[in-house]
Amino acid sequence: MKRTAMTTTYREAMREAIREALQRDDRVFLMGEDVGAYGGCFAVSLGLLEEFGPERIRDTPLSEAGFVGAGIGAALGGMRPIIEIMTVNFSLLALDQIMNNAATLSHMSGGQFSVPVVIRMTTGAGRQLAAQHSHSLEGWYAHIPGLRILAPATVADARGMLWTALTDPDPVLIFEHGSLYNTSGELGDDAGAVDIDTAAIRRPGADVSLITYGGTLPTVLEAATQLMKEGIDAEVLDLRTLRPLDDSAILATVARTHRAVVVDEGWRSGSISAEISARITEAAFFDLDAPVGRVCSAEVPLPYAKHLEQAALPSVARVIAAAREAVGQHG
């Protein structure tokens, strides 16, 4: 059967995913600040209010703890809420609800309750928004047992992860990097749910494994293209899910290339990149031909000025330098 593919943006793919979920299951509703009349602060939900009405595209007051907690309660009450938080920075006001309720209720109740809530939020830097709108805190959330953490980096994952997340009985957090909304890709018109368990190889290669997720995937793919020109054949692994990590995919790529560089827009200290590096050295130490490298954000609250912000973030040049280092080519 011939499938027609069309070009679509990450934003449109996400919107289509929400629309499909609303159509398929009457327990699903979207709730958050400015998701309705405004159309979503990143225009993800634009047009959905007109289509589904204010009950299911529910504008909330500025009350992150209140509406995230209400989403948890609604999930306990049998609904399947999609909660949108404008950015990860504001999710800190709801951390109590996410950490102390969503992540703990199943366990504290001895398995009597599940919390099938999905919480979406924007993450990441690159738009000169300075230190209260630019951080990548998904690694923090990945620290918490009881949560599942997703980082869709492609149009297909933006389209397909949401439905699978909604069928998960436990709380799922979806981190959407702000720089990805305008990226585009091909999507078959039969595109739909995808798995949320496994990492994906976005570019096969033999010389070094570049392990990343979310907003830095395009950066890493660009670096891999340039590295090829100098004869370094990099494999790019997109983690897709940060908790639970797909250990077998991580170890398998390292077993193939014997060299690994982790690229993460979070800070380096105490980070998800540290966790991945530790797992590699714990489980694949003798496969390694070089120390595990890391490219992370500079240890600074992200600055406003463009040149400083860019200097703080993982870049194509820094990824290339780290890959060269790993394969033993310097300068």
Which residue stretch of 59-67, 186-194, 204-212, 322-330 sits at the interface with another protein (rule: CB under 8 A)? 59-67
Q: Does residue 128 touch another protein according to CB under 8 A? A: no
- Rg of the chain's alpha carbons, rounded to an integer? 20
**Residues forming beta bridges with residue 261, ordered by sequence position:** 210, 293
* Residue tagged active-site, from 133, 135, 177, 258: 133
- Count of helices and strands (H, E) across the chain: 13, 14
Q: Does residue 55 touch another protein according to CB under 8 A? A: yes
Provide the minimum distance between the beta carbon of 33 and another protein in the complex, in angstroms, as a whole number. 12
Provide the minimum distance between the beta carbon of 8 and another protein in the complex, in angstroms, as a whole number. 28
* Residue tagged active-site, from 16, 20, 64, 309: 64
Provide the minimum distance between the beta carbon of 49 and another protein in the complex, in angstroms, as a whole number. 16
**x/- string (CB under 8 A) for another protein, residues 82-101?**
--------------xx--xx
Do residues 168 and 116 lie in contact, with contact meaning Cβ atoms separated by under 8 Å?
yes
Instruction: State the Cα torsion 130-271-122-311 to the nearest 10°.
Output: 40
How far is residue 10 CA from its own chain's centroid? 13
Please state, in angstroms and rounded to a whole number, the distance separating the CA atoms of residues 157 and 242: 14
64 catalytically annotated: yes
Q: Does residue 78 touch another protein according to CB under 8 A? A: yes
Which residue stretch of 1-9, 106-114, 131-139, 153-161 sits at the interface with another protein (rule: CB under 8 A)? 106-114
Report residue 219 as tokens: 């950066």
Q: What count of residues does the chain have?
A: 331
**3-class SS at 33?**
coil
Q: Which residues are catalytic?
A: 64, 133
Binding site for another protein (CB under 8 A): 27, 29, 55, 60-61, 63, 65-79, 81, 96-97, 100-101, 105-114, 116, 145-146, 148, 167, 169-170
